[in-house]
């Protein structure tokens, strides 16, 4: 299976996927930002890159049409959003339905959109995390494939919490890409995802930890 990765910045999740050496061919990396640092990372690894600058198009529909043409030129079976900071139109999402995935820095459906770490701290949640999901036209609401949770501590700032969540993003996103490449991710007609052969979670996570008193 071949994939195309879309980025807007340094591409840390892209690097994590590439470093995991999945049995998947990365056909190309595309960015909407010509100066995105992740493009140089991809080129250094011999991966083809392309730029579709959103500023050069008259609106979202025109940009998405140009982006789709660039993606289709690579012929991927999966499109991976890895820090791609553009809201995609419903027409674009429908074009790749079932083969377009994203990672979001919260435990969806909590805190969709931007500013997730700030909002988590303001809400006083004790557990935060990240979610890999299929993309649907409604923002950050597609079928969930995998999640990872981290504790929120009293001393956390947006920066420390973001770093803890990012470490988990780098762990679960490559895993999900490998699962999809192995044909283990099944999107049911009911909109729920099953991962075949995956171990079941055991027990429960409490934060702060319960002391039994």
Catalytic residues: 104
Q: Residue 201 contacts by C-beta under 8 Å, 6 or more apart in sequence?
A: none
Strand 127-134 versus strand 144-151 pairing type: antiparallel
Is the distance from CB of 70 to CB of 92 less than 8 angstroms? no
Is the distance from CB of 70 to CB of 50 less than 8 angstroms? yes
Rounded distance between C-alpha atoms, residue 141 and residue 109, angstroms: 7
Rounded distance between C-alpha atoms, residue 104 and residue 41, angstroms: 22
Is the distance from CB of 121 to CB of 150 less than 8 angstroms? no
DSSP assignment letter at 99: S
The first and second tokens of residue 67, run together, are 């982006």
User: Which residue has tokens 């900071």?
Assistant: 85
Strand 185-187 versus strand 78-81 pairing type: unpaired
Helix segments in the chain, DSSP class H: 12-19, 37-44, 60-74, 90-95, 116-123, 158-181
């Amino acid at each position: 299976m071949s994939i195309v990765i879309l980025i807007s910045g340094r591409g840390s999740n892209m690097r994590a996927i590439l470093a995991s050496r999945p049995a998947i061919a990365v056909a190309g990396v595309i960015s909407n930002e010509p100066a995105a640092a992740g493009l140089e990372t991809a080129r250094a690894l011999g991966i083809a890159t392309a730029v579709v600058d959103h500023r050069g198009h008259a609106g979202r529909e025109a940009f998405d049409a140009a982006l789709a043409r660039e993606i289709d030129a690579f012929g991927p079976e999966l499109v991976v959003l890895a820090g791609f900071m553009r809201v995609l139109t419903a027409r674009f999402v429908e074009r790749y339905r079932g083969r377009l995935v994203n990672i979001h820095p919260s435990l969806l459906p909590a805190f969709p959109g931007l500013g997730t770490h700030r909002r988590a701290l303001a809400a006083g949640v004790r557990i935060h995390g990240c979610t890999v999901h299929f993309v649907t036209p409604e923002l950050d609401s597609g079928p969930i494939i995998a999640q990872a949770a981290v504790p929120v501590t009293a001393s956390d700032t947006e920066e420390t919490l973001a770093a803890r969540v990012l470490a988990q993003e780098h762990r679960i996103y490559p895993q999900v890409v490998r699962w999809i490449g192995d044909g283990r991710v099944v999107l049911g007609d009911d909109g729920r995802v099953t991962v075949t052969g995956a171990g079941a979670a055991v027990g429960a996570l409490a934060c702060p930890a319960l002391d039994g008193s």
